[in-house]
Amino acid sequence: MTDGVARTTGEGTAPAVSERAVFRTDDPVVLRAFAHPLRVELLAQLDELGEATASELGELTGQSVANASFHLRQLEKAGFIERAAATGREKPWRPAHRHRSLEPDPHDARSVQESGVISAAYLQHEATRLARFFATSATLPPEWVSTVTFTTAGFWATAEELRALGAQIQHLVDAFAGRGTDPALRPEGAVHARLLATLNPELDHEDRAGAARTRRAGSPAVEPG
């Protein structure tokens, strides 16, 4: 699970070779190596599949094998993925760590910017997935329909309260940790599920609200016909 600006689950279906369970970095150079829509998509696919070859990932992402291979090598250089054991002529790739923490350095504008690019790319990936899901949601068995939620909210909170809320959400998700790699931990009837959660302050909220009030005040009244 990554923290900070980008929050994504990195637990795949196959164990990683690396003994490091969590990959942590706020280095803008490393983040920039990941801050590319296709690289985010490739790693998201590997998180889902556990491991896959460049040919398989190219087909899944609509890319040529050569282009997929190039971006996979860049992810390897940055430490995000590694080679898995060969199963044939082509060696598959897999995530190098079970979780990633990409919390930016709040005092480094480049670190914050690159983490934001990664978050935007993950959001696009999740938006595409959700659009696909809702387009076919009528096929859900009745007992699963009420498990689907879509919630938005606007509220006033301090920086400390937002950080605490983010930690509470993470704590809730941590209760399911390990089930991706150890089926024995899954209770009977469990299926794979997804959570997309974002928190962000709106520091320009009052300015935008004030501008809207000014526009309304300057608009001539229109009598109903």
Label the pairing between strands 22-24 and 81-83. unpaired
Judge contact between 26 and 107, C-beta under 8 A. Answer: no
Q: One digit per residue, pLDDT tens: the chain, 225 residues?
A: 333 344 444 554 444 444 457 888 999 999 999 999 999 999 999 998 989 999 999 999 999 999 999 999 999 999 999 999 887 787 899 999 988 888 899 999 999 999 999 999 999 999 999 999 999 999 999 999 999 999 999 999 999 999 999 999 999 999 998 888 899 999 999 999 999 999 999 998 777 766 766 776 776 655 555
Label the pairing between strands 22-24 and 99-101. parallel
How many angstroms separate the CA atoms of 197 and 212, rounded?
28
How many angstroms separate the CA atoms of 16 and 19, rounded?
8
Judge contact between 52 and 93, C-beta under 8 A. Answer: yes
Q: Which helix (H) or strand (E) holds 22?
A: strand 22-24
Give me the pLDDT at residue 89, please: 80
Helix (H, G, I), strand (E, B) or coil at 24: strand
Phi-psi region of 194 (alpha: psi -120 to 50; beta: other; left: phi over 0): beta
Domain residue ranges in the chain? 22-218
**Distances in Å between the alpha carbon of 105 and those of 68, 136, 168, 182?**
30, 40, 22, 33
The CATH architecture to which 22-218 belongs is: Orthogonal Bundle (1.10)
How many angstroms separate the CA atoms of 212 and 216, rounded?
6
> Helices in 136-204 by DSSP H: which ranges?
142-145, 159-174
Give me the pLDDT at residue 6, please: 46
Give me the pLDDT at residue 22, please: 83
- How large is the C-alpha radius of gyration of the chain? 21
How many angstroms separate the CA atoms of 137 and 224, rounded?
41
Question: Three-state secondary structure along 73-139?
Answer: HHHHHHCCEEECCCCCCCCCEEECCCEEECCCCCCCHHHHHHHHHHHHHHHHHHHHHHHHHHHCHHH
Judge contact between 71 and 104, C-beta under 8 A. Answer: no
